[in-house]
Amino acid sequence: MTQEFIHTTVLLQEAVDALVTDPSGFYIDGTFGRGGHSSKIIQALGPKGRLMAIDKDPEAIAYAQVHFGDEPRFEIEHGSFSEISHFAETRDMRGKVTGVLLDLGVSSPQLDDPQRGFSFMHDGPLDMRMNTSVGESAAEWINRASEAEIADVLYHYGEERFSRRMAKAIVMERQASPILTTGRLAKIITDANPRWEKGKNPATRAFQGIRIHINKELDDIEQCLDQALDVLAIGGVLVVISFHSLEDRIAKRFIRKHVKGDEHLPAGVPFTQSMLNQRLRSVGKAIRAGQDELNANPRARSAVMRVAVKCA
């Protein structure tokens, strides 16, 4: 029997309260995971409301089919949220979607299951793919990439300041034998880290960087946000929950850009507000988990939620 790993959904009520403005609307949960947000969204819908979920992970799809299969207002697509425009268009919902929710990053079941290869705490196959049916695994990449490429990934996606030392150690170690497990990679990285951050595993940043690279996470976020503007109806809500600075920076800049509008109007030429082509209106300040949620779920400490409404 396959072990079922538990996922505690972060900012659950806050996200659904911001998202569901019309119980009869059509909503998209771009990151189904184990259905925490989807379940709450469905509870907020009326008989005519609909929810489409998306997930890369075949295990998430299987979970949805078992636990949500009898819900007529729900459907799920196996794929990336970077395909959100395609999924909406096949349902004739482009420009008609009431709300889009993106809960970014990796889910707890992926982190907690050593067989998925995300964890530096428990030994397992070095995989890290959210969609295990396609693409290059972390083991395949780590054993073929150049030292410079590994260093760049750890630095840019993991924000790891000792990326060059770690990349050099990885290349030296793989010459002896291929690096195939999370435990071995974590030890190599840990041994190459001369200055550990208090309260943080020394392999944390490097594993984050590799995971983001393997799954093309930041590219997917940028593509999805651009498409979200097209699929949302006027007045439609965009909710984005991020778990590290790279994700949040993309969401923050995207919202700010479309709140500000057109920056290329000629200097000195009078213009009206409507000429700015402002496509989003930011709703409130960034929201973080409260103390009660932090006490119950320490992984919520880095979560940031941003909300915007499409206005043009």
Q: Which segments are annotated as binding site for S-adenosyl-L-methionine?
A: 35-37, 55, 81, 103, 110
DSSP string across 146-163: -HHHHHHHHHHTT--TTH
> In sequence order, what are the beta bridge partners of 67?
none
CA distance 275 to 268: 14
> In sequence order, what are the beta bridge partners of 278?
none
> In sequence order, what are the beta bridge partners of 280?
310
Give binding residues as ranges: 35-37, 55, 81, 103, 110
Edge-to-edge strand list for the sheet holding 74-78: 74-78, 50-55, 26-29, 97-103, 232-242, 304-310, 280-282
Residue that is written with structure tokens 């990885």 in the block: 170
Whose CA is closest to 57, among 98, 113, 120?
113
Contact 100, 280 (CB under 8 A): no
Q: Is 37 left (phi over 0), alpha (psi -120 to 50) or beta?
A: alpha
Residues 6+ apart with CB under 8 A from 134: none
